[in-house]
Amino acid sequence: MWEGFPLFPESASTIAGTVDRLYFFLIGVAIFFSLLIGSLVFIFAIKYRRRTENETPRPIVGSLKLELVWTIIPFILAMIMYAQGVSVYFETSRPPSGAMEIYVVGKQWMWKLQHPNGRREINELHVPVGMPIKLTMTSEDVIHSFYVPAFRIKMDVLPGRYTTTWFQATKTGRFHLFCAEYCGTKHSGMIGWVIVMEPSDFEEWLRTTPPPAAPRGLAGERPPLPVRPGESLAAVGERLFQQLGCNSCHLPEPGGQGPPLTGIFGRRITLEGGETVVADETYLRESIINPMAKIVSGYPPIMPPFQGKLTEEELVELIEYIKSLGRGERTTSQP
Residues numbered 123-182 forming contacts with another protein, rule: CB under 8 A: 141-143, 145, 147, 149-150, 152-156, 158-161, 163, 176, 178-182
User: For 29, phi and psi rounded to 5 degrees?
Assistant: -60, -40
Tell me the window of 61-69, 199-207, 236-244, 249-257 that interacts with another protein (CB under 8 A): 61-69
Nearer to another protein, 50 or 207 (CB): 50
Answer yes or no whether residue 49 interacts with another protein by CB under 8 A. yes
304-333 residues in contact with another protein (CB under 8 A) are: 307-308
Least distance (Å) between residue 324 CB and another protein = 25
Answer yes or no whether residue 301 interacts with another protein by CB under 8 A. no
CA angle in degrees (0–180, nearest 5) for 166-168-170: 155
Answer yes or no whether residue 216 interacts with another protein by CB under 8 A. no
* CA–CA distances in Å: residue 215 to residues 90, 121, 173, 311: 36, 10, 27, 12
How far apart, in whole angstroms, are the C-alpha atoms of residue 335 and residue 332?
Answer: 9
Nearer to another protein, 187 or 239 (CB): 187
DSSP 151-186: GTEEEEE-BTS-EEEEEEB-S-EEEEEEE-S--STT
252-281 residues in contact with another protein (CB under 8 A) are: none
Strand partners, 175: 194
Answer yes or no whether residue 208 interacts with another protein by CB under 8 A. no
For β-strands 124-128 and 120-122, DSSP reports them as unpaired
Least distance (Å) between residue 142 CB and another protein = 4
Least distance (Å) between residue 81 CB and another protein = 5
66-105 residues in contact with another protein (CB under 8 A) are: 66-67, 70-71, 74-75, 78-79, 81-82, 84-93
Among 1, 60, 213, 218, the residue binding another protein under the rule CB under 8 A is: 60
* CA–CA distances in Å: residue 43 to residues 31, 57, 255, 325: 17, 17, 84, 72
Nearer to another protein, 139 or 232 (CB): 139
Least distance (Å) between residue 274 CB and another protein = 23
Least distance (Å) between residue 22 CB and another protein = 5
- CA 157: distance to chain centroid? 7
Answer yes or no whether residue 59 interacts with another protein by CB under 8 A. yes
Q: Indicate the residue type of 130.
A: G
Nearer to another protein, 176 or 267 (CB): 176
DSSP 237-283: HHHHHHHTTGGGTS-SSTTSSS---TT-BT-EEEBTTS-EEE--HHH
Provide CB contacts within 8 A for 49, sequence distance 6+.
none
Answer yes or no whether residue 55 interacts with another protein by CB under 8 A. yes
**Do the Cβ atoms of 179 and 136 come closer than 8 Å?**
no
Answer yes or no whether residue 13 interacts with another protein by CB under 8 A. no
Tell me, what DSSP letter sits at residue 227? P
Nearer to another protein, 92 or 114 (CB): 92
Tell me the window of 7-15, 98-106, 122-130, 216-224 that interacts with another protein (CB under 8 A): 7-15
How far apart, in whole angstroms, are the C-alpha atoms of residue 175 and residue 194?
Answer: 5
**Do the Cβ atoms of 313 and 112 come closer than 8 Å?**
yes
Nearer to another protein, 138 or 232 (CB): 138
Answer yes or no whether residue 11 interacts with another protein by CB under 8 A. no
Closest CA to 239 of 314, 171, 164, 289: 314
- How many residues sit close enough to another protein to count as binding (CB under 8 A)? 91
